[in-house]
Structure 1
Amino acid sequence: MGKQYYTIGMAGHIDHGKTTLTKALTSVDTDRLKEEKDRSISIEPGFAPLYNDEEMEISVVDVPGHERFIRQMIAGVAGIDLIVLVVAADEGVMPQTKEHLDILSLLGVTHGIVVLTKISKVDEELRDMALEEVIDELKGTVFERASVLVADSISGEGVEELKQKIITTLRGMASRSIRGDFRLPIDQVFTLKGQGTVVRGTVFEGTLDTGEEIIILPQGIHTKAKQIQAHHRKESRAFAGQRAAINLSGVDYKELKRGNVLVTSTHLTVTNTIDVCLEVIHAVNHPIKQRMPVVLHVGTSEVMGKLVFFDRNKVESETELILCQIRLDESIVVKRGDRFILRRPSPMETIGGGWIIQPNGGKYKFGEETMALLQSERHGTPQERVLRLLEQYKCVDEDFILSEASLSHRELHDLLQGDDQWVVLSESKISHMKIVEECVKSIEQILREFHEEFPLLRGINSGELKQTLKRYTEDLVDYVIEQKHWKRNSGFLCLEGFIPHLPTEWEKRCKQLIILLEADGTHVKDMEEYFHQVGIPQKWQSDFYHFFIQEKKIVQLDNKKAYSYQIFMKAVEGLKEKTGETFDIADAKAALGLSRKYMIPFLEKLDKDGLTLRIQGHRKWIGTSMKE
C-alpha cells in the first residue's frame, strides 16, 4: 500500500476558536486576507499542513463560521475525510454549530471529532455543563458516537492529544481511491508573477503528474500541469485526498473561477439538469414549493437553479427522501453519487441536500411514470446501471464504470463473471452483446447503403466507416469488425458476396469501350474520346475510369491515356523477351515499335510499379508483377 492522503475540516460557529486551534495544531495562521485579520473572522477557507510522514499526509481546511459565509464553508468541506467540530466552552452549541452539523450530515461526512475549546475561560463546572450540552446535541446525528475532547489553543492544553486522535482515527480509515480519472474541483484561483495561473483544491480522486494534459470544465479549456505543489512543496504528482496547487500552462486566471473542475478525462458530465435524491432539513422556516429558486452547492460550485418536483407541488413535513430534479442556470461538472447542499437564496437558509442519482437529467412529465424512472435510477441493480451507461457510451473502461455506476471493484468483478453476455475488450474496455449486436446491424446497414450508392467501389474505407459510426467507440467497432469477419479487400470493407460492378444500364457501353481500347493496341487515343465514342456522359467518366483501373481492365499511362490491361501486360512480356537485364529507350523502341509519346509514359509506368529501376540512362528489370 502506498502513502495515504487525507484532508480534515475545522467547522463550527463563528469565534469559537477554529482558526486559533488550527494554528495551535499546525503553526500556520490560515487567515491570510487583510480583511480577515482586521475583522478577526475567517471569510475564505484556510489551509495548512497538519502531519506528514512516509505513510500519511494530513491537511487541514479551516472553514468560515459566520452565517454570511456558509457558501464558503460548504466549498471548504467539499472533499474532506474527517471533520473536527469546534464548540467554545463559554458559549456552547450555537445556531451555526447546528447548521454546520446539518450540512456535514447531508454531505455524507460520517467521521468526526468534537472539540470543546476555550476551556481556560470557564470553570470546571461550566466545562462539564458545556460537554453535556454538546453530547446531548449530537444525539440522533451522524456524530452521535464521535469522540469528544477538550482543548485550549492558548495554553496548549489538550492540543497534542487532539492531534494524535486525528492521526489515529485517520489511520483506521480508508483513504480516497487513486484509481480512476483525476478530478479536482477548484476552490481558489490566483496568479503569481513569473509563474502564471495557479489553482488550488482538494483532489477528489485519481492522480495527476507534472506535465500531464488537463481539461478545465465546464469551459473545455485544454492545458497542462506545469508545476504541482502541496503546502509549498514542489511535487511530481498529486494524489486523491491531497490539497494541491496546480500551476497551469497558457491559461489566463480571469477565465477561471471557484467551481471549475480540473480533469484528465472527457467522461465527466457537464450538465445543467440533475436528478437527485433530496433530504429536507426538519428545521426549515419557510415553505418549499414547486419550481422555487434554489442555490445548489456541489463540489466547490455554487449555482442558481429551480427545484422541480414530479409528485407534489410543495413539501410538507417530510421525513422520507424526495426524488426530484434541479434545473440550473449554469453548467456544472458532476457524477453519480456526488453530494450536494441546497439553500434558499432569499431569505437565505439551508433547506436540504442529498446525492445525485443521474447527472444527465431529462425533461420528464409530472406523474407516476417519471417517479418510477427516478426510482429505477436510484435503486437500479449494478447490471441495470452499467447497461444504462452502455446505452449512452457503448463501450467504457472499468474505472469509468466504477465511478459512474457507483460500483465497487467486487461488484463489477461479480457482474462480469456472472454473465457471459458481457464483452471485455482490450485494455479493460467493457461492452455488452446487446451493444455489439446493435453495432453489427448498424455496420451491415451502412455497407448495404454504400454498395447501393457506390456499386463501382470495392467497399467503404475503415476510417470512413468509423466516422459514420461515431456513436460507437473505435475500440468497439474494431472488435465487431474482427469478430464478424466481413470481407476485407486492401483496407476496404464490404458485405460477404459483394462484387464491384457496373450499373446495369451502362454495362454494355463500358464493355464496348474496353473492346475499342484493345483494338487500338499500343497506339491508343485519349480516354475521353473512347467515352465519347460509346456515349458515356461526362459525369460518369471519372467513376468508370477508376473502376476500370481497380478491376484491372485498364492500366493508366498518364493523365489522358491508358492501355487495355491485356495489351499492357503483352507489351511488358514482349519487352522482356527482346531485352537483356538492362536496356535503354532505343532498345525499348526497337522492341515495341512505339513513338516517344507512348514510350516515355510506358517506361515511367514500369518504374512506378516496381518492374524496372532507372539507373542514369538505362533501366534494369527488378520486378515480376505490378503493384496493386
Structure 2
Amino acid sequence: MIVGTAGHIDHGKTALVKALTGVDADRLKEEKARGITIDLGYAYSDLGDGRQLGFVDVPGHERFVHNMLAGATGIDAALLVVSAAEGIKPQTVEHLQILDLLGLDRGVVALTKADLADDDELLGRMAEIEALLCTTGLAGAEIMPVSALTGRGVDELKARLLALGESARNTAGFARLAVDRCFVLPGAGVVVTGTAHAGEIRVDDRLLLTPSGLEARVRSLHAQNRPAEIGRAGERCALNLAGPKLSREAVRRGDWVVGPELHMPTDRLDVRLRLLASEPQALRHWSPAHVHIGAAHVMGRVALLRGDRLAPGETMLAQLVLEEKVGALAGDRVILRDPSATRTIGGATVVDPFGPPRNRRTPRRLAELDAMAAWDDDDLLGRFLALEAGHADLARFGLAHNLRQAELERMLAAANGVRVQGFGFLEATLEAARRDIADTLAAFHENSPDAPGLQPERLRLAMRRRFPVPAFRALLEREVAAKTVALDGGFVRLPGHSLRLGARDEALWRKISADLARERFRPPRVRDFAQTYGEAEPQVRKLLRQLARLGRVVEVAPDQFFLRPAVAQMIAAADALGPDFTAAQFRDRLDNGRKVAIQVLEFFDRHGITVRRGDLRRTVPQKLGQYGPPPG
C-alpha cells in the first residue's frame, strides 16, 4: 500500500515519515538547507513479514501544491498530519480538500508534536479535526497523537496504517504507470519512477510513453524499492528504460508509461465536476483552470454541459478542453485550481476520456454520459447499449475502461449483447434495425419501382434510428450476409425486388449490349446507338444510365459506356504493361484509338486505379479489383 502525507508546512510530515521508516525523504540539497520539503520524497518501511508500507512525502507550502498533487494521485491511503502545537492551518484544509476530491476514504490523522501539548490541548485539537473531517471521505478516521522526537505513538500509528489493508488497484488491465520523476543513472541510462495505477509491468516488456508515443523497453525494475521481475498496480516502481529515441529530456513529469493498447492521448475529457462549497462564487462556462490529472499539470478550459454556471458545492457534467494532450482513462480523478494557481477550486472524475469536439450538449450525448458516470459498475456496458444510440464501439469502450478482450467479452455476454464486427448491440436492437432496413427499402421500392434500390448512405439517413456510418456499415454487411437484403452495383434492395425494363427498353438493350460486347474496347457512343436504332438520344442516355446504376455498364466519359467486364479487362491490360507505361502503349495494347485510350486512362486516374506522373502512369494494386476480376 502507498501512503501519502498531507498537511501544512512545518507540521512534521517528513520527520514522521523518518520515524516510521528510518528514511529521510528530503533528498534535495535545497530541502536540507531550508529545512522544508519542496518536491516529492519517498520512503519504505519493511516489516520483515513480507508486508511493506510505501510513503510519498509531499511538500506543505502553498507554493508547492502542484508538486503535492503529482504525488497525491497515486496514493491508496492518506496520512493527514496536524501539529498539536498549531492546529488546523490553511494548507491542512486545502490538502484535505484535495484528498476528498481524489475520492480517498482510507486514512489516519497524525496529531504530531504531541510532546508540546498537554492532554487538554490534545483533546481540543482532536475535536477540531473531527469537525473538519466530518463532511469528507475521511470522516471517522482515527486521530492518533504522535511525537517523532520521543517516539510516542509511532509504532501504534504504523500498525493502524497496516490495518487499512492493501492497495485495491486493478491488476487485470493493461500496464499503466504515472511518471513523477525521471533521471539518468551512470551505466544504466534513463530511469523513471511513479506509481503503477493498473496492470503489471515485467522486465523486457515493450511499452510506450504517453502522450509522446516514444517506445521503451524495460531493462530492469524496482518495485517498492526492491529489485523485482514484476511491478504490480498499487506499487511504486522505478523502471530502467531503453529506447531508440529515449532520453532524459524526452520524458517529463506527468507522462504515463503504458502498454501499447492504452496509448491514446486526448485533450478533451468529459467529467463529472464538483465545485468546492468554499468557493466564493459560481464557476462560469469556459472558465480557465489549472488541470491536474495523474502526475500531469496542464492548462485548460471548463465547458459546462448542463448550464452556464456551476454554483459552489454543486456537481455538473463538464468537458475539460486542454491545451496539451494527456493520458487519461475513465475513473481517473482530476483536480482543478484557479487560473492564478493560488487555491484548489474543485475536482472531477473522468467519465469519458475521449470527449467529442461537437454536439457535446445534445440530450443524446448527455444521456450517454449519465449512463457512463458509474464507470466501475459491472452493468455499465448493458446500460450503454440500451441508450438511444443503440450500440457501443467495443474497442473504444475497452480502451476507455482499460479492459482486456476477455473482460470485455464477459461484460458483453453479461449484458446479453452481440458483437457485430467491432460493435456491440443488444439482440433487440439488431432485430429492430433489421425491420427498420426492410421497412425503409420496402417503402422506397413501392414509391420508386423503376429504381434499382437505395444507395447505402441514403438508406442510413432514411432509417428511423440513425446509426453512425461505421456502425451502420457493420449492420448492413450483417444483413447482406444473412441475405435479408441484396447489394447490387452500389445499391441496396430487398431480395425480391428487381428492376424490370419495359418491353421496348429490353429489346433495345439486347441490341446495344451486343454492340458493346462486339466493340468492347471502342464502343459506340449514345448518339451512335440513337442513329443506328432510330431512337431519341435522351431515351438511349436514360436507359444506359439506369443500367449503370445497376452496375451492368460503366460511363467512362460523357455518353461513352463500356460493359463492366470490359472495364475490368482494361484495368488488367494496363497492369500487364508494368510500372511507368505511356498512353501510347495502352492504346496499342487495346487498339482502341488515342482519343478513347486517353478517356479511359483519365477515368482510371479519377478513380485512383492509376497514378500519373508526367506522361507515365502506373496501376495501384489495391484498386485492381474495383470492377471485378477480368473475364477468363
Contact 2:175 2:259 (8 Å CA) reproduced: yes
CA distance in 2, matches of 1:366, 1:400: 20
CA distance in 2, matches of 1:391, 1:268: 27
SS in 2 for 1:345: coil
Identity of aligned residues (%): 30
Structure 2 residue 164 is the aligned partner of structure 1 residue 169: yes
Change (3 A) 1:158 1:364: same
Structure 2 residue 270 is the aligned partner of structure 1 residue 275: yes
Give the alignment of 1:288-367 within 5 angstroms. Answer: 288-316=283-311, 318-346=312-340, 348-364=342-358
Give the alignment of 1:1-80 within 5 angstroms. Answer: 6-51=1-46, 56-80=51-75
Contact 1:268 1:335 (8 Å CA) reproduced: no
Q: Which runs of 5+ in 2 are unaligned?
A: 438-468, 484-494, 496-512, 522-562, 577-631
Structure 2 residue 193 is the aligned partner of structure 1 residue 200: yes
Determine which structure has more spread, i.e. the larger CA radius of gyration.
Answer: 1
Equivalent residue, structure 2, for 1:144:
139
Contact 2:225 2:237 (8 Å CA) reproduced: no
1:422 alignment partner, one of 418, 421, 438: 418
SS in 2 for 1:220: coil
SS in 1 for 2:261: coil
CA distance in 1, matches of 2:70, 2:388: 29
Structure 2 residue 370 is the aligned partner of structure 1 residue 376: yes
Return the offset for 1:416. 1.8
SS in 2 for 1:296: strand
Return the offset for 1:543. 4.8
SS in 1 for 2:182: strand
Q: Which runs of 5+ in 1 are unaligned?
A: 1-5, 443-469, 486-495, 497-502, 512-535, 549-627
Could you tell me which amino acid in structure 2 is paired with residue 320 of structure 1?
E
Change (3 A) 1:399 1:309: closer
Deviation track 1:544-603 (CA, whole Å, cap 9, x = no partner) reads 66999xxxxxxxxxxxxxxxxxxxxxxxxxxxxxxxxxxxxxxxxxxxxxxxxxxxxxxx
CA distance in 1, matches of 2:216, 2:411: 38
1:183 alignment partner, one of 176, 181, 185: 176
Return the offset for 1:482. 14
Return the offset for 1:302. 0.6
Could you tell me which amino acid in structure 1 is paired with residue 314 of structure 2?
E
Deviation track 1:519-563 (CA, whole Å, cap 9, x = no partner) reads xxxxxxxxxxxxxxxxx9x99877566999xxxxxxxxxxxxxxx
Equivalent residue, structure 2, for 1:89:
84
Change (3 A) 1:165 1:504: farther
Equivalent residue, structure 2, for 1:236:
229
Structure 2 residue 248 is the aligned partner of structure 1 residue 253: yes
Contact 1:9 1:80 (8 Å CA) reproduced: yes
Structure 2 residue 217 is the aligned partner of structure 1 residue 224: yes
Deviation track 1:156-209 (CA, whole Å, cap 9, x = no partner) reads 1111111111112215xx621210111111111111122111111000000011
Return the offset for 1:33. 0.5
CA distance in 1, matches of 2:431, 2:27: 57
CA distance in 2, matches of 1:334, 1:68: 26
Change (3 A) 1:267 1:367: closer
Could you tell me which amino acid in structure 1 is paired with residue 15 of structure 2?
T
Contact 1:310 1:365 (8 Å CA) reproduced: no
Q: How many residues align?
A: 478
Contact 2:194 2:236 (8 Å CA) reproduced: yes
Return the offset for 1:59. 1.1
Return the offset for 1:327. 1.0
Deviation track 1:368-427 (CA, whole Å, cap 9, x = no partner) reads 74784465355586224368899997444996575479xx97x985762452x424999x
CA distance in 2, matches of 1:7, 1:219: 27
Change (3 A) 1:231 1:482: farther
CA distance in 1, matches of 2:346, 2:572: 71
CA distance in 2, matches of 1:539, 1:412: 45
Contact 1:310 1:370 (8 Å CA) reproduced: no
Equivalent residue, structure 1, for 2:98:
103
CA distance in 2, matches of 1:315, 1:220: 36
Give the TM-score taking structure 2 as reference length.
0.65
Return the offset for 1:268. 5.0
Give the TM-score taking structure 1 as reference length.
0.65
CA distance in 2, matches of 1:127, 1:135: 12
Indicate the RMSD between aligned Cα atoms, in angstroms.
4.7
SS in 2 for 1:308: strand
SS in 1 for 2:327: strand
Could you tell me which amino acid in structure 2 is paired with residue 416 of structure 1?
A
